[in-house]
Amino acid sequence: MLIQMEKELDLNMPVIENISPLHFDHKLGFFGDYENKDDILKLSEVKELSIFQIAKFKKSSVDINEVSFNNLKLPTKSLTVISDNIARILWVGPDTWLIVSRDKNLNKNIHNIFNDNDFAITDISHSRAVIEISGSKSKEVLKKGSPLNFNDDMFKPNNCANTTYNGINIIIDFISEKPDCFNLYALRSFGGSFYHSITDSCLEYGLSLIHISEPTRPY
């Protein structure tokens, strides 16, 4: 009888669906001045990323140069990103990094490497909205809302930076060039506002809002 009641309760339990930060904002299609153009901007929401913030405690005596994750040394130079075919590590501040990956074992691997006595480990995966923008005019779009210097000799692939976009705090990660491709991280609560701000800035160049069903890279 008890087992039957438990089964009935399970059937009546609401199903909790994992909704992405931009689920209600990201609508597929072509927008703006896209007609008769071969090179328009592409923008998509990046889903199902694991994002961990790693911060070294001031009292820790650990030598960062001796710490590695998947044989990747933590970058110590500002604005620097390193990556392999599993993860991407962003320097986001002194003794602070983001580790980004689609690896399902990321949580376990991070806790195996980073000692809780030396590092603060925070899973921020569900608290960030992540947008990928690509195309030859990507930098022009970013220049519209960010004070960051996007000149080629100042901001290159595998650089990242904390900045603002029309007053919204974001992290920009320069993934690759030809065409330029960026991942943009914003707080989930500001995700919708940031999304609409940057898509509006894309319209004059032509914009394709797409869905990446099978990601070709692990971040």
Give 169's contacts (C-beta < 8 A, 6+ positions apart).
Answer: 162, 163, 186, 187, 190
Q: Please say whether the structural domain 50-125 has been given the CATH code 3.30.70.1520.
A: yes
Query: In the CATH scheme, what is the code of domain 20-47+128-209?
Result: 3.30.1360.120
pLDDT digits (tens, 9 = 90+) for 141-151: 999 999 999 98
Domain boundaries, the chain: 20-47+128-209, 50-125
> What's the CA gap between 135 and 94, in Å, rounded?
31
Residue 113 identity (one-letter amino acid): I
* The overall pTM is greater than 0.95: no
Say how far apart CA 144 and CA 182 lie, in whole Å.
Answer: 15
Query: Poorest-confidence range of 17-31, 85-99, 111-125, 182-196?
Result: 17-31
pLDDT in tens, 18-60: 789 999 999 999 999 999 998 999 999 999 999 999 999 999 9
Residues 212 and 44 sit within 8 Å (Cβ to Cβ): yes
Q: Give Cα separations from 156 to 6, 68, 98, 178 (angstroms).
A: 57, 24, 18, 12
| CA distance linking residue 53 with residue 215, whole number of Å | 23
pLDDT at 5 over 90: no
Nearest-angstrom CA–CA distance, 124 and 140: 29
The pLDDT-based confidence of 211 (bands split at 50, 70, 90) is confident
